[in-house]
Structure 1
């Protein structure tokens, strides 16, 4: 995982995801895989935003490469 951070923000590029790995191993096609990743990203949004941080993500899509999602968390009080 690649990580960038400063006083109010952290961003990371997830290289491997156990959910995505399991779906690929199960033979899920790319379009359905993208949908499942988007659903998992929505769960992540709810989880992180419940803690009081601002959440942004870009989930895996076909052509996105071998990695997974990109996530950014920002202190909600940051300008």
Structure 2
């Protein structure tokens, strides 16, 4: 099985949805999808949460999707490097 941490976002007019998924082996290393979305949701003026393997967030600022995804990448890199 391959390791993966995936975060993506999309917008529909003025609403934003972010989704995160993390494989079980990375969850065991401390990387949790719920933690990722809780940290990046404020970037899109929203909130969210979920389980260790899968989580989602909603927000109201579609212009900041790229910023939220960049922050997610930083969080993932830091956690896996640590």
**TM-score bracket for this pair, using the shorter chain length:** 0.3 to 0.5
**Greater fraction strand:** 2
TM-score normalized by structure 1?
0.36
Q: Which has the higher contact order (CA 8 A, sep 6+)?
A: 1
**Greater fraction helix:** 2
Structure (1 or 2) with the larger CA radius of gyration:
1
TM-score normalized by structure 2?
0.35
